[in-house]
A and B are shown apart, each in its own frame.
Chain A
């Protein structure tokens, strides 16, 4: 059973703080993703990584950066948190299509509030 875990379920930070959100998966998946989920906007891709040290911008990368130093861990970094980054952040991982149906497995989410 794939497990994707996120470091925090709830987080409250102040404007201007540097914020780290961590995601760990235990299935040796190459692909990992960070989304934010906002009402009426669905899930929007921030960044994804298809291998260690590799990253690609998603649809809304502004204000975020990522780090993938180890295959199992994908970190999302808010360099200087702002109130418009208050959201639910979901991490996901996926193996290559050849390994199975290519579905994504989601973490439980981190609800971040920036005050």
Chain B
């Protein structure tokens, strides 16, 4: 089956700096890669996603890049703000199943 690895597990950045979280996957058949943000005590919420036929997608301060050849995808957050502090999960979908990374706890220091 699919195996998704996520790094780093924790990340601290100064407010206004950029944050990058990286994930790798193993199954070349995976074709959909969402990113979820989970604030403390709340459910995961989809923040951005990318399909395998696209290399990059942006939504305001958030972007995701996908390298199918290398089987890795990354989340980029620019101009970070304290409200970006949360746990971020990447996932890869193969067929009906989603496979999640282990999460990155992002802290934005004011």
Q: Which of B46, B96, B98, B100 contacts A56 (CB 8 A)?
A: B96
Using A41-B102, A43-B89, A102-B32 as known contacts, say yes or no to A50 and B96 having CB atoms under 8 A apart.
yes
A/B pair count, beta carbons within 8 Å: 46
Write the nearest CB–CB distance from B32 to chain A, whole angstroms: 6
Q: How large is the interface on A (under 10, 10 to 19, 20 to 34, 35 or more residues)?
A: 20 to 34
Interface string of A25-44 (1 = CB under 8 A from B): 00000010101000011111
- Complex Cα distance, B43 from A104, in Å, reads 11
- Complex Cα distance, B103 from A65, in Å, reads 26
Interface string of A71-115 (1 = CB under 8 A from B): 000000000000000000010000001000111101111000000
> What chain B residues lie within 8 Å of A97 (beta carbons)?
32
Q: Which of A41, A43, A58, A59 contacts B44 (CB 8 A)?
A: A43
B residues within 8 Å of A by Cβ? 1, 6, 9, 32, 34, 36, 42-46, 49, 89, 93, 96-103
